[in-house]
Chains A and B, each alone.
Chain A
Amino acid sequence: MDLTKYFENPKFVKKMKNVGKAALVLVVFLDLFSPRHPEHIHVESDKWVGFYAFFGFIACYIFIVVSKKILGRIWLYKSEDYYD
């Protein structure tokens, strides 16, 4: 199996990026039709269209910033031979 012919082809990569962008739009669009039955709603935010898109975006941002930029940089990161 040789995947280089795909991933080293700029056209294919560009097409993949477009597919990705289309998917982002699609999942938010499809949320308009979510049934939102009251017995399946546990949180107020479940009623807002596209809330979980925003939620995922922010969650990932918080993970990267809090881990790497805050905890890692000021406290947890040590050189690799720290315990030797």
Chain B
Amino acid sequence: MINEIPPAFIYIIGALAIPFLKGALKKAWLVAIPIVAFINLLYIKKGVDIDTTVVKFTATFLDQQLIFGRIDKLSVGFAFIFILASLISIIYALHIKDDAHHISAYLYVGGALGVVFAGDFLTLFLFWELMAVGSAFLVWFRRNKMAIEAGFRYILIHTLGGLILLAGIMLLYNETGSMAFNAIDPDSKAFYLIIIGLMINAAVPPLHAWLPDAYPQATVPGAIFMSAFTTKTAVYVLVRGFAGTEFLVWLGTIMMIYGLVYAVLENDIRRLLSYHIISQVGYMVAAIGIGTDLGLNGAVAHAFTNILYKALLFMAAGAILHMTAKSKLTELGGLYRTMPITMILYMIGGLSISGFPLFAGFVSKAMIVSAAGVDHRSIIMLVLLFGSAGTFLSVGLKLPFFAFFGKDSGLRPKEPPKNMLVAMAITAFCCIAIGVYPAVLYDILPFDVPYHPYTYEHIVWTMQILLFTGVTFFYMLKTAAPKGYLSLDTDWFYRKGIKIFLWFAFKPVRKTNDFIDDADVNVIEKQTMNVATKAKWFDIAVVDGIVNGVAWANRLIAWLSHQIDIYIVDGLINSAATLVNINSGFWRKLQTGSVQSYALIMLAGVILILGGLIIFI
């Protein structure tokens, strides 16, 4: 009946048929999609040896082989839990009338399953982006101003993360010539780009702020989908590509504490739970960093149980929001009177996440703590146990105490709609089933490591930590009480920091920009006019002055030379002529023309010369 196809396509094709169906048929269709995917997965699994990697569903695109079905224990395990989570979430969302909401939710789930089965990075990237878009709509469909703004911040951060991932993939292809999605060489340059892209989706601080920003603004059922898929697909990719990366141990441990510190501060119930997603994913990231078989099994197991109890907690918190339209602990209180079933189901989630024996969190968290211990990381191990106290404090004590008990808010909401209660009950059942009978979980883990969570000392020590955490909580009730404040987080940089940036953009930068934009007026025209004015003045005053001055000087010189000509030159010539005339008149008289006169004059000359000689000698 069902041919094997990649499970992602069941969701994607199924989503596209939703608008053509009506009423009960549509609801049946919505629930049928995960069930069909589940059967399909059983068929896929049946045909292959699960302990080896089998490649199915390949296509060729741009000379690249796209692998839509890498089937092994790791991918099949994640697919099982994702399909279960989508079934629970869609039952919880059945009362939603908006087709687009269901479509985007299923495209989002399809993206997550596509990532899980992707055998190459190109396929992975395509589904990665599908997830980002599908989930952004789950925020926008809340349809109020805050949600729309948060949705835009969300999609921007994930687009950035996607681009960094893509850059890493391209670099990897450049370095190795292959897009195959396997463990990545830590010495390659692509390693860091890809891991940063993944860390954004895994919400590793300081790249985490999108999560507590967007999840509390999402629609009530949308947040259930989101709590399950985005961070856990990132965990899946980290397990496959980055197991044993040492710095992840520390980042994960810091991340775990970071989420808890903010959860203690938080007042909004869904934001408090969002910080606990960060904290819980911190356990997984640390376990991936440890990288032993037990550590990786712990990371995967914790991802599975976390999807369940976190969904349960978000569903109960969503039920409170749905019925009271309030989500701040300071405005809630005393709800146990009219919502006892919601409270009990919430507490099952709360005890699970805190790691109480017989609940789901116990059997998975214990693996991670043991993995740290076996690997001789005593400090990490103690910090992880330290985190258990913080988890119980916020989720197991503070939130339920101030929402369901505490000061009576006077609110008397009814229990949520039946579909919500059913979804919560199924999830609560799974949490207890895994806690009581952990073999159902351990059987689908990727590595074959025997592990026994229920040892005497482990139970006793866990109960000691949790119960004495309770003592401190009731002892410090007033200090621990939620307060009507908002806590600063790294989203400050793009929410407030951006305003400082915008001030710069609008004031100095824009002014300069305007000036440059008006350059034709400011620089060319004005300055040219300036230059022209100056040139004109220069022309009139200096050039003309010089020219005129020279002309006048010429005229003066000409006049002077004329005067000199008339008086001096002419005068000299005339006087010379007159003198010659006078002189010649005198000397003319000597020219008698008789020899006797000339001889007499010569004689007189000789006597004069001789006389002169006698006198001087």
Q: Do A80 and B457 touch across chains, with their CB atoms under 8 A apart?
A: no
Contact of B487 among A1, A2, A7, A77 (CB under 8 A): A77
Contact of B469 among A57, A67, A75, A79 (CB under 8 A): A57
Report the count of interface residues on A (CB-CB < 8 A).
48
Q: Do B456 and A61 touch across chains, with their CB atoms under 8 A apart?
A: no
Q: Do A75 and B466 touch across chains, with their CB atoms under 8 A apart?
A: no
Chain B: minimal CB distance from A57 (Å): 4
**In the complex, residue of chain A having the shortest beta-carbon distance to the beta carbon of B463:** A27
Known contacts A60-B473, A71-B261, A77 near B467 by CB under 8 Å = no
Stretch at the interface among B373-381, B532-540, B584-592: B373-381
Chain B: minimal CB distance from A43 (Å): 5
In the complex, A76 Cα to B483 Cα: how many Å? 12
Chain B: minimal CB distance from A84 (Å): 9
In the complex, A68 Cα to B263 Cα: how many Å? 10
In the complex, A77 Cα to B488 Cα: how many Å? 6
- What does the 1/0 interface line of A11-35 toward B look like (CB < 8 Å)? 0000000001001100110110111
**In the complex, residue of chain B having the shortest beta-carbon distance to the beta carbon of A67:** B264
- What does the 1/0 interface line of A61-84 toward B look like (CB < 8 Å)? 101111111011001111110110
Contact of B374 among A42, A61, A64, A71 (CB under 8 A): A42
Q: Do A35 and B457 touch across chains, with their CB atoms under 8 A apart?
A: yes
Q: Which residues of B contact A28 (CB under 8 A)?
A: 464
Known contacts A52-B464, A60-B473, A82 near B393 by CB under 8 Å = no
Q: Which residues of B contact A38 (CB under 8 A)?
A: none
Known contacts A43-B381, A52-B465, A63 near B261 by CB under 8 Å = yes
The interface centre, meaning the residue of A3, A27, A63 with most chain B CB atoms within 10 A of its CB, is: A63
Q: Which residues of A contact B405 (CB under 8 A)?
A: 7
Stretch at the interface among B181-189, B226-234, B333-341, B504-512: B333-341
In the complex, A64 Cα to B481 Cα: how many Å? 10
Q: Which residues of A contact B264 (CB under 8 A)?
A: 63-64, 67-68
Q: Do A24 and B468 touch across chains, with their CB atoms under 8 A apart?
A: yes
Q: Which residues of A contact B476 (CB under 8 A)?
A: 60-61, 64
Q: Do B468 and A53 touch across chains, with their CB atoms under 8 A apart?
A: yes
- B461 beta carbon closer than 8 Å to chain A: yes
Q: Which residues of A contact B484 (CB under 8 A)?
A: 80
Q: Do A83 and B495 touch across chains, with their CB atoms under 8 A apart?
A: yes
Contact of A20 among B470, B486, B489 (CB under 8 A): B470
- B496 beta carbon closer than 8 Å to chain A: yes
In the complex, A52 Cα to B374 Cα: how many Å? 19
Q: Do A72 and B265 touch across chains, with their CB atoms under 8 A apart?
A: yes
**In the complex, residue of chain B having the shortest beta-carbon distance to the beta carbon of A30:** B460
Contact of A36 among B336, B378, B386, B457 (CB under 8 A): B457
Q: Do B472 and A60 touch across chains, with their CB atoms under 8 A apart?
A: yes
Q: Which residues of A contact B343 (CB under 8 A)?
A: 3
Known contacts A1-B341, A61-B476, A78 near B468 by CB under 8 Å = no
Q: Which residues of B contact A54 (CB under 8 A)?
A: 468
Q: Do B456 and A50 touch across chains, with their CB atoms under 8 A apart?
A: no
Q: Do B261 and A67 touch across chains, with their CB atoms under 8 A apart?
A: yes
Q: Do A27 and B496 touch across chains, with their CB atoms under 8 A apart?
A: no
| Cβ < 8 Å to A, chain B residues 425-459 | 455-457
Name B's interface SS: helix
Known contacts A55-B385, A64-B393, A42 near B378 by CB under 8 Å = yes
Q: Do B460 and A42 touch across chains, with their CB atoms under 8 A apart?
A: no
Contact of A31 among B340, B464, B471 (CB under 8 A): B464
Chain B: minimal CB distance from A29 (Å): 10
Q: Which residues of A contact B466 (CB under 8 A)?
A: 56
Q: Do B389 and A77 touch across chains, with their CB atoms under 8 A apart?
A: no
Contact of A1 among B340, B455, B464, B470 (CB under 8 A): B340
Q: Do B468 and A57 touch across chains, with their CB atoms under 8 A apart?
A: yes
In the complex, A60 Cα to B394 Cα: how many Å? 10
Known contacts A7-B405, A28-B464, A66-B261, A77 near B457 by CB under 8 Å = no
Known contacts A27-B467, A56-B464, A60-B472, A80 near B486 by CB under 8 Å = yes
Q: Do A60 and B469 touch across chains, with their CB atoms under 8 A apart?
A: yes
Q: Which residues of A contact B479 (CB under 8 A)?
A: 64-65, 68-69
- B212 beta carbon closer than 8 Å to chain A: no
- What does the 1/0 interface line of B560-576 toward A look like (CB < 8 Å)? 00000000000000000
- B485 beta carbon closer than 8 Å to chain A: yes
Contact of B390 among A3, A35, A59, A78 (CB under 8 A): A59
Chain A: minimal CB distance from B394 (Å): 8
| Cβ < 8 Å to A, chain B residues 340-372 | 340-341, 343, 372
Q: Do A77 and B265 touch across chains, with their CB atoms under 8 A apart?
A: yes
Q: Do B488 and A76 touch across chains, with their CB atoms under 8 A apart?
A: yes
In the complex, A52 Cα to B465 Cα: how many Å? 5
Q: Do A72 and B496 touch across chains, with their CB atoms under 8 A apart?
A: no
In the complex, A28 Cα to B264 Cα: how many Å? 27
In the complex, A75 Cα to B374 Cα: how many Å? 39
In the complex, A7 Cα to B476 Cα: how many Å? 21
In the complex, A50 Cα to B461 Cα: how many Å? 8
Chain B: minimal CB distance from A12 (Å): 13
Q: Do A56 and B465 touch across chains, with their CB atoms under 8 A apart?
A: yes
Q: Do A35 and B389 touch across chains, with their CB atoms under 8 A apart?
A: no
- B480 beta carbon closer than 8 Å to chain A: yes
Contact of B467 among A1, A46, A56 (CB under 8 A): A56
Known contacts A3-B340, A72-B265, A72-B485, A53 near B378 by CB under 8 Å = no
Could you jot down 5 A-B contacts, CB within 8 Å?
A: A24-B467, A53-B465, A67-B262, A72-B265, A78-B487
